[in-house]
Amino acid sequence: MDALNALVAFLNFIVVPGLAYGSQLALGALGITLIFGVLRFSNFAHGDTMAFGTAFVILFTWWFQSMGISAGPLPTALLALPLGIAVTIAMVLGTDRLVYRFYRKQKAKPIILVIVSTGVMFVMNGLVRMIIGTSEKNFADGARMVLSPQDFKAATGLAEPLAIKTTALVSVVVALVCVAALFWFLQKTRTGKSMRAFADNEDLALLSGINPDRVVMITWMIAGTLACIAGTLYGLDKSFRVFVYFGLLMPIFAAAIVGGLGSPLGAIAGGFIVAFSELLVTNAWRKILSYLVPPDRLGDGLYQALSTDYKVAVSFGILILVLLFRPNGLFGGK
């Protein structure tokens, strides 16, 4: 019974939140890795692109709510998502036309584009704050729990509850759908293949008659879509604040680099590696251990390696370890 309680506590505090958070990071990291593969620079504005998309999803959600439209047990934000995605795509395409295209024409070095994207990041950050404000926004509605702790306790008779939030389940399911759709697109469609060809060997892609402007446009559209979805899922699951999204850049980049920049599969794996590492390191293990270790041997400690305030340090740590020992990432990117 104690072992079961420990397992349930482990599922409740590590596995379920890890899967949800990992899904959100994976979608973010996919955007980073696609931009890197095709446009060959690290897009520092990606976190704020997520914030931008989410801000518009929140605005559309409020609008829907004011009209009395809801998605039943699911968050209304899912209905607002397509509109948010459309605005995000318009924004990234506009940014490309206004900013990045100029540097692409000049064949600017990747490092210059990184600095340019940092500039875009600051502009975007300010823009989002002007549009929706700096305060915290909760926009999750619908049923709060798929599996409520009370129901679980009543059904199993265990002392430890297992709770699955609707937003956690939505995160995992939406991420699965997005990843399946993206891989189908990249592997099976002519346009997807031409994107991979362009990322693989730009000169040969041009010789084969692949239109670079089209590839770049589609890459931005996909990256914008993924950013908006990732940001919305994260905001539903936790809450929305512009500064928090700015900070998300770190774990997302860590995820993309751990998997190997340019490798979509790696980005997904990296997302979960970073998410679970954060949770494992910042979790207070006392509760789980209390079922497994006799009380007199347990002592007073929380058995927490790092306070949750330091969870960004985990991303940094992983990043440094990967860059030291496996600079191309686990899945051999660039």
Partner 1 sequence: MAEPFLIGENMTGGYGAADILHSCTLAVEKGEIAVIVGPNGAGKSTAMKAVFGMLKLRQGTVRLAGEDITALAPQARVRKGMGFVPQTHNIFTTMTVQENLEMGAFIREDDQIAETMEQVYHLFPVLREKRWQKAGELSGGQRQQVAVGRALMTRPKVLMLDEPTAGVSPIVMDELFDRIIEIARSGISILMVEQNARQALEIAHKGYVLVQGSNRYTDTGHALLADPDVRRSFLGG
**Residues at the contact surface with partner 1, assessed by CB under 8 A:** 190, 193-194, 196-197, 199-201, 203-210
Rounded distance between C-alpha atoms, residue 68 and residue 30, angstroms:
34
Rounded distance between C-alpha atoms, residue 257 and residue 97, angstroms:
27
Name which of 67 and 207 has its Cβ closer to partner 1: 207
Q: What does the DSSP 8-state code read for residue 333? A: -
Residue written as tokens 């909760």? 138
Name which of 166 and 263 has its Cβ closer to partner 1: 263
Six token digits for residue 114:
């990184």
Q: What is the smallest separation between the CB atom of 266 and partner 1, expressed in angstroms?
A: 13
Could you tell me if 251 and 315 are in contact, meaning their C-beta atoms sit under 8 angstroms apart? yes
Q: What is the smallest separation between the CB atom of 286 and partner 1, expressed in angstroms?
A: 47
Q: What is the smallest separation between the CB atom of 191 and partner 1, expressed in angstroms?
A: 10
Provide the 10 A C-beta neighbour count for residue 307: 11
Name which of 210 and 306 has its Cβ closer to partner 1: 210
Q: What is the smallest separation between the CB atom of 213 and partner 1, expressed in angstroms?
A: 12
Six token digits for residue 264:
């979509």
315: exposed, middle or buried (C-beta count within 10 Å: 0-12, 13-18, 19+)?
A: buried
Name which of 134 and 187 has its Cβ closer to partner 1: 187
Name which of 150 and 201 has its Cβ closer to partner 1: 201
- The beta strands (E) that lie in the chain are given as 145-147, 164-165
Q: What is the smallest separation between the CB atom of 261 and partner 1, expressed in angstroms?
A: 13
Amino acid at 238: K
Name which of 107 and 190 has its Cβ closer to partner 1: 190
Q: What is the smallest separation between the CB atom of 216 and partner 1, expressed in angstroms?
A: 16
